Amino acid sequence: MFWADRIAKEIISSKKYKSYWVDDMKTPSGRVHVGSLRGVVIHDLLYKAILEQGKTVTYTYCINDMDPMDGFPVYLDREKFYKYMGWPLFKIPSPEKGVTSFSRYFAKEFIYVFNKIGCFPKIIWTSDLYAKGKFDNLIKICLNNTDKIRQLFEKQYKNFKEKDYFPYQPICPNCGKISTTKIYKWDGKYVYFECRENNVVYTKGCGFKGRVIPEKQNGKMPWKIEWSAHWKTLSINIEWSGKDHMTQGGSHEIAAKISEAIFHYPTPHAKSYEHLLIGGKKMSSSKGIGASAKEVSEILPPELLRFLMVRVHYNQTIDFDPMGDTIPGLFDEYDRCAKAYFESGDELLSRIFVLSQVDSLPKKHLYLPRFRTIISYLQQPGTAVLTRLKEDKGEDLTPDEKRIVDERIHFAKLWLTKFAPPDFKIEVRDDIPEEAKKLTPPQKKYLLDLAKIIGSSVKAEVLQQNLYTLAKKHKISPPQAFCAIYLSLLGRTAGPKASPFLLSLDKSLVVKRFTEIGKL
């Protein structure tokens, strides 16, 4: 059983909840990296699995846009934006006209990407919750329990030494910064604060002293407290987190303690999930490390990007490196799951295919040409890819199949241009390579027999078997056999998978080349 289906059944069977509210969240401190998509998809899978059980369930995505800009994105104009360090993200101007704020600009880019891969949670802006007074009562509860919250932090973190800590940060009305303010008094109505010059290392306060009523958008709770305030305010009862938040003594643990001890709200159902890495590296939105969700969404079709997340269990790391043969391999895995679905094969693979769909499920069996085959066809001068694929299928492509083929052609061209390793670059030599003339007599006889088989219009599966059968017949190893093929056509010892590669080429050219070399 697929993990989301199993966990949905466990949650429902627990009978702890009358209705279900799934939530995820993100601070839009810059371009959102593709790793953040993993949380969106995991929560989407949980939401849909509960929905399929006939239960009432809500899925929200909270944008934490009241948080301060505390790291400067390397791709921003420093002269224009550095002055906003320490400001709440929702008050910083957008990098481009037409969007109301910095946070909306980057959040909407991310929302567009996860909508594109079939995730449609209700978007909640934290700044709106503050503006509507949704947190007002909880802010006062926190301030009235300041000593208790301090004690919770002291027990949680051995290095917590802030005896003057208050669980609230006002926005300075003079300079607009939130990260530089420090409360020194709460009288039950007002918080009294100073905008300190040395409160944080990345910006300086203006020295202003004043008081504000801690309500609406006058300030915010620290995020570890605000996290639990989200749970209480929205009645969230399912929210998972990346493993860095879920470690013992981590941010989720203190949020859970505050939720239960201060707000008297039960901690939502939670598990930790592993990260998505790009080439083995964790990513950062503000530091520009890694690929943004938008960038990755432009090199994979939507269903493949969703499949990248769905196919791997939540407690396993996804390491995606677009260089090399990762993307062709991803297409192969997707097609294997599609085959299981169309042919009523492996139930888990079939379920993964179903949950990877962005649009409605196909009603009929679809012809899905291998991505690698399309790559090969694209590199043959004068080859009409659609015509060759029609020949491979044995009949006309349906409109849905043609749409898929057009999409794969687009992404194959992109992959060849940006990510393909040398072994995938197919440049068939116009003449017989010198290296091929030095093949052993058994290798040359192998090519002669292979030319006869290719000339008889053999199918890919049969040809693949014959490649090995002929090698055994002529007493050469498979590597020696494949080396003879690649040296004859490409002038190198390695290349793409042999059978689809050979069938993707002009048959008369292959037969002529193998026959000529075989007779040398």
Of the listed ranges 246-255, 388-397, 420-429, the one predicted with least confidence: 420-429
Domain 323-424 has CATH 1.10.10.770: yes
Is the pTM higher than 0.75? The answer reads: yes
Query: What does pLDDT average to over the chain?
Result: 93
pLDDT at site 287: 42
Mean of pLDDT values over 366-382: 87
User: 23: part of which helix (H) or strand (E)?
Assistant: strand 20-26
Same fold, 1-168+214-279 and 434-518: no
From the candidate CATH numbers 3.40.50.620, 3.30.499.10, 3.30.70.141, 3.10.450.50, the one assigned to the domain spanning 1-168+214-279: 3.40.50.620
- pLDDT for residue 256 is more than 90: yes
More confident residue, 376 or 115: 115
pLDDT, tens digit, 9 for 90 and up, residues 277-326: 887 655 444 444 458 899 999 999 999 999 999 999 999 999 998 888 89
Question: Distance between CA atoms of 31 and 201, rounded to whole angstroms?
Answer: 23
pLDDT, tens digit, 9 for 90 and up, residues 165-206: 999 999 999 999 999 999 999 999 999 999 999 999 999 999
pLDDT at site 279: 74
Q: How far apart are the first and last CA of the chain?
A: 58
Q: Give the 3-state secondary structure of 45-85.
A: HHHHHHHHCCCCEEEEEEECCCCECCCCCCCCCHHHHHHHC
Residue 25 token pair: 């969240």
pLDDT, tens digit, 9 for 90 and up, residues 401-458: 999 999 999 999 999 998 988 777 778 888 999 999 999 999 999 999 999 888 887 7
Question: Distance between CA atoms of 339 and 349, rounded to whole angstroms?
Answer: 9
Q: Give the 3-state secondary structure of 201-246.
A: CCCCCCCCEEEECCCHHHEECCHHHHHHHHHHHHCCCECCEECCCC
Count CB neighbours of 313 within 10 A: 10
Question: Distance between CA atoms of 39 and 239, rounded to whole angstroms?
Answer: 10
Question: Distance between CA atoms of 459 and 395, rounded to whole angstroms?
Answer: 15
Sheet containing 122-125: which strands, arranged edge to edge?
20-26, 57-63, 122-125
Burial of 180 (0-12, 13-18, 19+ CB in 10 A): buried
Task: Answer whether 513's CB lies under 8 Å from 491's CB.
Answer: no
Question: Distance between CA atoms of 229 and 84, rounded to whole angstroms?
Answer: 26
Question: Distance between CA atoms of 21 and 310, rounded to whole angstroms?
Answer: 21
Mean of pLDDT values over 235-260: 94
Domain boundaries, the chain: 1-168+214-279, 323-424, 434-518
- Sign of the Cα torsion 277, 279, 281, 283 reads negative
Question: Distance between CA atoms of 48 and 20, rounded to whole angstroms?
Answer: 11
Task: Answer whether 180's CB lies under 8 Å from 195's CB.
Answer: yes
- pLDDT for residue 382 is more than 70: no
- pLDDT for residue 486 is more than 70: yes
pLDDT, tens digit, 9 for 90 and up, residues 57-106: 999 999 999 999 999 998 999 999 999 999 999 999 999 999 999 999 99
**Rg, C-alpha atoms of the chain:** 30
Mean of pLDDT values over 375-401: 87
CATH class of segment(s) 434-518: mainly alpha
Residue 236 token pair: 């969230």
User: 501: part of which helix (H) or strand (E)?
Assistant: helix 498-504
Question: Distance between CA atoms of 152 and 65, rounded to whole angstroms?
Answer: 26
Residue 372 token pair: 């690698």
Q: Strands 57-63 and 318-320: what pairing? A: unpaired
Q: What is the chain's percent helix, strand, coil content, to nearest 5?
A: 50, 10, 40
Task: Answer whether 49's CB lies under 8 Å from 7's CB.
Answer: yes
Mean of pLDDT values over 335-363: 95
Q: What's the one-letter identity of residue 306?
A: R
- pLDDT for residue 267 is more than 80: yes
Question: Distance between CA atoms of 209 and 182, rounded to whole angstroms?
Answer: 10
